[in-house]
Structure formats: structure tokens, C-alpha cells
Chains A and B, each alone.
Chain A
């Protein structure tokens, strides 16, 4: 699954998570979610939506915990947009970070691999 849509700005991230849940419920394995373009914002550990709104990050983490789905964040798209894990923060001299496991920063090559290795790829756009 490829997610280009940012949470809270566009519906695409909600649609993606809802579809992911439905696929898993059907008994399929969802091996990888790759976050690209503004979709990288799904990986932010700093989102604090109001309590009575959807907590998207929890949904993504549950997919990982319960089905082992990899949550991959494009590193090039992410660094430009302020998505950094502790390693990248140190390398860029930042005293804060915004990406935590199970989200992993990775290269676009992983998207290409995932596309060719899996039966199906579905994209959720902004």
C-alpha cells in the first residue's frame, strides 16, 4: 500500500487505514505500507489531534503490532518535511525527533521492491 495523503488535511489517509483494516479482516497479509509525498506526515509521533477525533497513528501501529505490517517512510520526502528519527536528528544536529518505531525511514528502493514482491499495490492519494 502506498499512501500519499497527509492525516487531517485529506481523507486519503483515513481511507487507506480503513481499507487496510478491511483487507486484514478478510485474511490477507498486508506486508508494507509505504508513506510518500505528504503521506509521510502519518509517521509523526507529535500529532496531537483533539481526543474526540480519529487517532490515525494508533491505527497504523495496530496494523504493525497485530499483522507485522512494515510502516516505511520515504526518507527523502520525510527529511524535507520535518520527519526525522533519532538517528537522522543526531546527524542533522537537531535536538528533537518526530519519527519513532514501528515507523522506519527508508529509501524509495524499498517501495520498488515492495511493488514487485507483492501481489497487489493500492495507492491512496490526497
Chain B
């Protein structure tokens, strides 16, 4: 079982926390994961991208993926690199609250209005976790409960107040895919 995903967007969207949650959930489940991130110098607003590769044993993967089976587009800005690496017919999960799904060609495009869903789930800052819940449900590498545990472990003490909202967002994201 191998999966690869590049998550792309702008600083402040929680892209690095999404990717780390996925990689940690896989690790806790006894799988091997590799996660790389590429962020600009600034803390906010600059390009933010992360790649996650998951395998059973003997994971051999490059920190800069030559190609990827799936992409999660949190924002259209800076998404050219990730979309350029998507294999033809690969999965493109798009945060349609901000990015335009129609702009993506030659892929299985799934639009998720993550911001609206996050607000509806009373988790306005957790659009990233809505997308992660949707992605994990599409790919079935790790389940939403494992993601919730990994997120709980990763959220630093000075942001613990967001854990409950993040969990609601994960569930809401998974629900969107199951309902579709």
C-alpha cells in the first residue's frame, strides 16, 4: 500500500499541521511515513506546501516528489508546482471556498467548500482539517479517529483550545465525502 499526496496553499492555512497529522497517524498505525515541507521565509501569507508518502515497510521516497498520485489544493496561489507533479487522472481535492476547481485539468477533481463547512461545524479556523478528513476518507490510509488522536498529540499546549473544533472539522470533512 503506497500513497503520496502534496498539500499546497499559503502560510496560515494550517497546511503543515494537516500534513504532520496525516504522517503521525500513519506512524502510530505502524506504517512508515515521510513528510517534507517547503515554506517561504515568512510565517504568514507566503507559499506553504507539504508532501506525505506512506508505505508499509522499507519506505524509499524522495523528499521532493518527482510525481504524486494526489494533490490537496488549499489555495490556488503557488499551486502550480503540486498540480504539475500530479499523475494524469490523479486525485485533486480542492478547497473550493478559495481555489477554483475548474482551473484544474486532466485529474479527478473533487471540490470541498472547506471554509463554509468549517464555519458550519463551528470550527472557523479548521478548514485544513475539513480537507484532511475528506482526503483520508477518499484514500482510506488512516481513519478519522487516528487523525483525531494524532492532531490531539500535535497541537501545542498554547493552542489546545482548538482541539475540539479540529475534531468537528475532521468529522465534517469525512461526512462530506461519505454523503457525496
A binds B: no
- Residues on A facing B (Cβ under 8 Å): none
- Residues on B facing A (Cβ under 8 Å): none
